[in-house]
Amino acid sequence: MSLIIREAGLYSSIQDLGRQKQQHIGIVKNGSIDQLNHRLANMLVGNEEGEALIEMTIKLPSIQFTEPTLIAFTGANFPAFVDGKKIAPYKIHLLDKGEVLKFGEASKGTRGYLAIAGGIVAEEWLGSKSTSIRLEMGGYHGRTLHAGDEIEMCRNYTPLQKKLFENLEDSKTASWGVDQYTLALNYLTDIFHVISGEGMTHFNEAEIKHLESQVYKVSNRFNRTGLTLEGNSVINRRIVDQSFLSVKKGTVLLNEGNQPVVMLNDHQSLSSYPQIGTIASYHIDKLAQKKQGSKLIFKKLTIQEAERNMRKHAQFVKQIKTGIRYKLNEELNK
């Protein structure tokens, strides 16, 4: 009936795709940071893409299941084990009653996503089960997951999910999955496209070219609010006439030391810090997997250039999803 957190990990929480259209009243979206991997994990186990799951960060939890369960995990390349036996990411697995899922340390990436067939029970707030740590709302009592927490499974299985239980009764693991090498193309490079915003008017062309020539690294100050970067100052002056501007996921600010800070899901709604622009939406999932010491290189794009790239990215994602749907249909018809 439930899953039990045996070891808490570092920063695990229940997230869906976030709260929509609440930012005008100062409530940010929250939700999974790497939304592509969120969607793929859910699709693999036959859930709706936006179903709530467990987002796990850097040091992952160990989880025991109190009844047979279908799972899939995606994201950073954390090695995973069920009662000591290694299992693969981006595949469907049938876990038996009492089995414990554990994770090792990832050589690359930061966040993993664990989806449970049928979804999990969580507190809903403003139309979302996502955990808002700052406001202590949603998810599991509005906080990260601790050792001993017990999360109910919804168990409202579809015909497809019932068939998956049947098909995997002996093998325990599907023979197919998402091609990780193809998916890696979305996360591979350190270049991040920045689209100009209202705040860009404070910077001259020489300063933008200087920004693009630099290599920044993620500092130890990174969390669900944002990433503070280390490297040369973007500018050598102080901007004093900056008005308050809206902030969204991917907004690139300059802090008091003129170092870039990239906002993530739990960002504030407004800021008076200078804004360089916003990371293109198709690079946000890649941003979610950056950890301390990871490199970032900024490249300014026009809106027209970003739109062309967005269409290519959408086609790339569509192909992956089409492949999953095709294989699930095969499972249903076995």
Percent of the chain with pLDDT over 70: 97
Mean pLDDT of the 49-53 span: 98
**pLDDT above 70: residue 73:** yes
Per-residue pLDDT band for 308 (boundaries 50, 70, 90) equals very high
How would residue 223 be classed by pLDDT, with cut points 50, 70 and 90?
confident
Paired tokens of 309: 């790239």
| Radius of gyration of the chain, Cα coordinates, nearest whole angstrom | 21
pLDDT at 121 exceeding the cut of 80: yes
Name which residue leads in pLDDT, 25 or 251: 251
Q: Span 232-239, mean pLDDT?
A: 83
Which residues make Cβ contacts (< 8 Å) with residue 201, sequence separation at least 6? Answer: none
Q: What is the pLDDT of residues 256-298, one digit of tens each?
A: 888 999 999 888 777 778 888 899 999 999 999 999 999 999 9
Whole-angstrom Cα distance, residue 108 to residue 117?
Answer: 27
Answer for the pair 13, 144: CB distance below 8 angstroms, yes or no: yes
Find all residues with CB under 8 Å of 257, minimum gap 6, and list them.
Answer: 233
- Report whether pLDDT(199) > 80: no
Cα-to-chain-centroid distance, residue 3? 21
- What integer is the mean pLDDT of 127-152? 95
- Mean predicted lDDT score pLDDT of the chain: 92
| 179-193: average pLDDT | 90
pLDDT band at 185 (very low <50, low <70, confident <90, very high): confident
Separation CA 306–CA 269 (nearest Å): 24
Tell which wins on pLDDT, 131 or 203. 131
pLDDT at 241 over 70: no
- 18 sits in which H/E element: none
Flag whether pLDDT at 25 surpasses 70.
Answer: no
pLDDT above 70 (res 24): no
Q: Tell whether the model's pLDDT for residue 3 goes beyond 90.
A: yes
| Best CA proximity match to 278, nearest among 260, 266, 293 | 260
